[in-house]
A and B are shown apart, each in its own frame.
Chain A
Amino acid sequence: MSQLQQVKNTHYPLGYWQKVTLSILLIALIILPFADIEIVNFDPFLELTRMVDGLMTPDFFATEYLFQAIIQTVNFAILGVCLGLILGTPLALIYQHPIISGCCAFLRAIHEIFWALLFLQIFGLSPLTGILAITIPFAATFARVFHDIINQSSDSPLESIDSRADIISRFTYGKIAQVMPQLMAYTRYRFECALRSSAVLGFIGMPTLGFYMETAFRQGHYSEGAALLIIFIALIGTIRYWCPPKLLGVYLVIACVTLIDIPNVDSSLLVRFISQDILPSALANASRLAEVQWSSLYTWFSTLISEQAIPGALATITLALLALAVSHIVTLNAHAMASKHLWPTPLTWLGQLILLIGRSVPEYILAFIFLMLLGPSMLPAVIALAIHNGCVIAYLTVKQSNSIAPQQMQMSKLNQFNYHIMPSIYPNMMALMFYRFEIIVRETAVFGILGIMTLGFYIDSNFSEIRYSNALVLITCTALLNVAIDILSRRLLKLPKTSQTSC
């Protein structure tokens, strides 16, 4: 809005959002020389033609147990979201406590994949692993967002309620009832996110669509991969048709019934994991405190921090900042593409379809494709993150901007768009960007598995070398990094509190 300030003299200072936008781009430009974004590819065309071929001839019958995979993808998402709601909603009520919000920020900061890798050690390839991996970060997210939403509700109904009424009645009627639509809408949105997470968990072995998708792309079966992608995008694009809120209960029951067997949980595995596996060798081999070799423990820790944590964290931040800047550009374009203020309705459908594809295709797959095109560097990851997050933010802002009534003024569509629509939604769009930044930092983890040397890369390496102690330290570093970024960005930016800025 500040761009539209009245001009008092010829000196016209930059508005707040202009400054923020310019800083994002400037920071990206400054770190660009330090980032590894070289394009090294001689002839990607052989592989590219294969990919295009595959996309043209999707093979829906190449995947075994396809139906089961779809069902499990949905099951994990539904159960994960439901359990997340059950755990997260009470936390939302006490979220103002700094310990609670700190813990939630920490839990949220760890990517689903890492949760799954941890639970894999305790529950094995049981559905519990997948469900809990979704539940925990989702519960922490629900806690924060629900808290924010409830806080935005007005206190005036409470004033008129008889003070003798019990707290539960007062709270449900006076507060929750006010914001129920927002809570429902956000839950619906998170369900879409849960479907994505559920698929992504397949990359590390959960029996969801991602399991087959990753194999298909990794091994070059592009027809199969394309078919799986199409199924997945269709699944996400049609949520509101196959999962109306009324049927959620039915789906929950179906999910419980059709869930693949949960093997018995062996508590000794948990004990073993905590008492042996996750301890560094200097601790695990010592039976008493006196025997601990502190010097070797120190060496282990400092080597880990200096050789893996710090380079990993630097790469993570570099990647995330570049991705933020490019996301901004993608968001602006993607939003314009699907805005009904610029295009006739049929064209906006096309824009919406592009947004759907952009936000549904897992970043991992996007990065994979760009890796083939551009060669191994940070660039494919930057582009993949930017496309995915740009499309998510654009999707949310298009929803908002399409609900704005056009001004009753004689001006061209483009002028209308630039002078009326953009100024109205820009603060919210930027707020979404910054919320999304936290998610971008988390998501850099996925690219570690693809070989881009973020913290996720080192964590993945340690898991594959069966060094859980190292992995755990690095996961903690990731979480702390995320919490630090979160605190820092809140300090630096005074984000609009009242806007519906949850994603």
Chain B
Amino acid sequence: MNKMTKLFVLCALTLSVNVLVSINVSATTFTFTAIPDADESQLRTRFEKVALYLEKKLGVEVKYVPVKSYSAAVTAFKNNQVQLAWFGGLSGVQARRLVPGSKAIAQGYEDQFFKSYFIAHYSTGLAMSENFPDITQKTFTFGSKGSTSGRLMPQYYIEQHLKEKPQQAFKRVGFSGDHSRTIAQVQAGAYQVGAVNYTVWESALAAGKIDTNKVKVIWETPVYPDYQWTIRADVDAKFGKHFADKVQTALLNMDSPELLKSFPRSSFVKAENKDFQPVEDVAKQIGLID
């Protein structure tokens, strides 16, 4: 028991030292998070380069925190564990509602006119069309539950056109959890129809991962705003005057293809909270936010 007591004291000490050290670190570190819509491998390796870039431009220590889901990103943002986040359209709206005063400062060039594709397995016999396809009583998969391009917008258009909730309109509704999963599942015929982020589709197509004999695009949604950088209101107080503006400038000036490829976007352009009003309206309409 003697030994055990010693061990405990030792553990308690190391733990408290850890806590103390990290308090010091977190007081001066500017932390951000990002989940790209496509490739999620090597997240830290890729985004630590972005952190390095920001560190150079901002003159403060910058740290990247990997997260698993949009909701985890929103939570971290709400809890001030990250001050800056690369959000999807919906998660950005959720985050800004939870942290009053926080604002969208930049979006990807592509995100100004983002769209989703509806894709279908060949056995459905559906083909590309201008009009909303007849997909009632098919099996249908969304992407992740909190995704704008994989869930929110597709669900909105489904409800608009079919006048029913997806659960009633379709024989079976699934959430694949990820755009590349949606493609794989529709390609395998596990679901007949699916909704997918258009950039993910295009890049998978370019990489030769899609057999267009098995799965093809049957409809594309009208455009809507999607991914954006959102920053907390209190960063100016914490990191100095005009800090948010400095971050915005740094993001807009990011032109290294290597860094941009991580998102993947061609460049970043200015954004404001009101740009995302359509997303918020849609989310309210389909009952995803109150």
A and B are interacting partners: yes
**A307 vs chain B, min Cβ distance (A):** 10
Q: Judge whether B45 and A64 touch: CB under 8 Å.
A: yes
Instruction: Report if B130 contacts A (CB, 8 A).
Output: no
Q: Judge whether A450 and B177 touch: CB under 8 Å.
A: yes
Instruction: Report if A461 contacts B (CB, 8 A).
Output: yes
Considering only residues 185-214 of chain B, those with a C-beta below 8 Å from chain A are: 185, 187-191, 209, 211, 214
- Which of A119-127, A187-195, A316-324 lies at the binding interface? A119-127
Cβ-closest chain A residue relative to B31: A263
Q: Judge whether B7 and A125 touch: CB under 8 Å.
A: no
- Which of B54-62, B139-147, B238-246 lies at the binding interface? B139-147
Q: Judge whether A205 and B67 touch: CB under 8 Å.
A: yes
- Which of A17-25, A213-221, A351-359, A399-407 lies at the binding interface? A213-221
Instruction: Report if B70 contacts A (CB, 8 A).
Output: yes
Q: Give the distance in Å from the alpha carbon of A368 to the alpha carbon of B19 in the complex.
A: 38
Given contacts A215-B41, A269-B79, contact A252 B172 (CB under 8 A): no
Q: Judge whether B3 and A451 touch: CB under 8 Å.
A: no
Chain B residues with CB under 8 A of A10: none
Given contacts A42-B123, A224-B41, contact A249 B3 (CB under 8 A): yes
Picked from A43, A120, A216, A376, the residue with its CB within 8 Å of the CB of B41 is A216
Chain A residues with CB under 8 A of B145: 460-461, 464-465
The listed residue with most A CB atoms (<10 A of its CB), out of B21, B66, B144, B288, is B66
Q: Judge whether A376 and B121 touch: CB under 8 Å.
A: no
Picked from B7, B18, B72, B191, the residue with its CB within 8 Å of the CB of A262 is B18
Q: Judge whether B7 and A253 touch: CB under 8 Å.
A: yes
Considering only residues 16-49 of chain B, those with a C-beta below 8 Å from chain A are: 18-19, 21-23, 25-26, 39-45
Q: Judge whether B40 and A124 touch: CB under 8 Å.
A: no
Given contacts A249-B7, A466-B94, contact A42 B189 (CB under 8 A): yes
Q: Judge whether A466 and B98 touch: CB under 8 Å.
A: yes
Instruction: Report if B107 contacts A (CB, 8 A).
Output: no
Considering only residues 445-475 of chain A, those with a C-beta below 8 Å from chain B are: 449-451, 460-461, 463-466
Cβ-closest chain B residue relative to A257: B14
Chain A residues with CB under 8 A of B178: 218-219
Q: Judge whether A44 and B190 touch: CB under 8 Å.
A: yes
**B46 vs chain A, min Cβ distance (A):** 9
Q: Give the distance in Å from the alpha carbon of A65 to the alpha carbon of B15 in the complex.
A: 22
Q: Judge whether A264 and B190 touch: CB under 8 Å.
A: no
Q: Judge whether A464 and B69 touch: CB under 8 Å.
A: yes
Picked from A249, A259, A266, A465, the residue with its CB within 8 Å of the CB of B80 is A266
Chain B residues with CB under 8 A of A256: 10-11, 14-15, 18
**A104 vs chain B, min Cβ distance (A):** 24
Q: Give the distance in Å from the alpha carbon of A259 to the alpha carbon of B16 in the complex.
A: 12
Chain B residues with CB under 8 A of A166: none
The listed residue with most B CB atoms (<10 A of its CB), out of A211, A450, A465, is A465
Q: Judge whether A214 and B68 touch: CB under 8 Å.
A: yes
Q: Judge whether B40 and A219 touch: CB under 8 Å.
A: yes
Q: Judge whether B288 and A218 touch: CB under 8 Å.
A: no
Given contacts A40-B189, A256-B11, A460-B145, contact A261 B72 (CB under 8 A): no
Chain A residues with CB under 8 A of B18: 256, 259, 261-262
Number of interface residues of B (CB under 8 A): 65
Q: Judge whether A203 and B41 touch: CB under 8 Å.
A: no
Q: Judge whether B68 and A211 touch: CB under 8 Å.
A: yes
Chain B residues with CB under 8 A of A53: none
Chain A residues with CB under 8 A of B42: 64
Instruction: Report if B75 contacts A (CB, 8 A).
Output: yes
Q: Mark A30-69, 1 if CB is under 8 A from B, else 0.
A: 0000000000111110110000000000000010110000
Chain A residues with CB under 8 A of B98: 466
Picked from B15, B19, B72, the residue with its CB within 8 Å of the CB of A120 is B72
**A284 vs chain B, min Cβ distance (A):** 10
Picked from A47, A249, A465, the residue with its CB within 8 Å of the CB of B289 is A465
Q: Judge whether A372 and B14 touch: CB under 8 Å.
A: no
Chain B residues with CB under 8 A of A396: none
Instruction: Report if A281 contacts B (CB, 8 A).
Output: yes
Chain B residues with CB under 8 A of A262: 15, 18-19, 22
Q: Give the distance in Å from the alpha carbon of A220 to the alpha carbon of B181 in the complex.
A: 8
Chain B residues with CB under 8 A of A211: 66, 68
Chain A residues with CB under 8 A of B11: 252-253, 256
Cβ-closest chain B residue relative to A218: B178
Instruction: Report if A315 contacts B (CB, 8 A).
Output: no
Q: Give the distance in Å from the alpha carbon of A371 to the alpha carbon of B145 in the complex.
A: 18
**B25 vs chain A, min Cβ distance (A):** 7
**B110 vs chain A, min Cβ distance (A):** 20
Instruction: Report if A204 contacts B (CB, 8 A).
Output: yes
Q: Give the distance in Å from the alpha carbon of A90 to the alpha carbon of B177 in the complex.
A: 42
Chain B residues with CB under 8 A of A375: 189-190
Chain B residues with CB under 8 A of A281: 290
Q: Judge whether A463 and B71 touch: CB under 8 Å.
A: yes
**A332 vs chain B, min Cβ distance (A):** 31
Cβ-closest chain B residue relative to A86: B8
Q: Judge whether A219 and B15 touch: CB under 8 Å.
A: no
Picked from A204, A264, A372, the residue with its CB within 8 Å of the CB of B26 is A264
Q: Give the distance in Å from the alpha carbon of A264 to the alpha carbon of B21 in the complex.
A: 9
Cβ-closest chain A residue relative to B26: A263
A-B contact pairs, 29 of them (CB 8 A): A41-B189, A42-B123, A42-B189, A44-B188, A44-B190, A62-B41, A65-B44, A120-B72, A124-B79, A125-B81, A205-B69, A215-B40, A215-B41, A215-B43, A218-B40, A219-B39, A219-B40, A221-B41, A253-B10, A256-B14, A261-B21, A261-B25, A266-B79, A376-B185, A451-B176, A460-B145, A463-B71, A464-B71, A465-B145
Residues of chain A at the chain B interface (Cβ within 8 Å)? 40-44, 46-47, 62, 64-65, 120-121, 124-125, 203-205, 207, 211, 214-216, 218-221, 224, 249, 252-253, 256-257, 259, 261-264, 266, 269, 281, 371-372, 375-376, 449-451, 460-461, 463-466
Residues of chain B at the chain A interface (Cβ within 8 Å)? 3-4, 7, 10-11, 14-15, 18-19, 21-23, 25-26, 39-45, 65-72, 74-76, 79-81, 94, 98, 121, 123, 139, 141, 144-146, 172, 174-178, 180-181, 184-185, 187-191, 209, 211, 214, 288-290
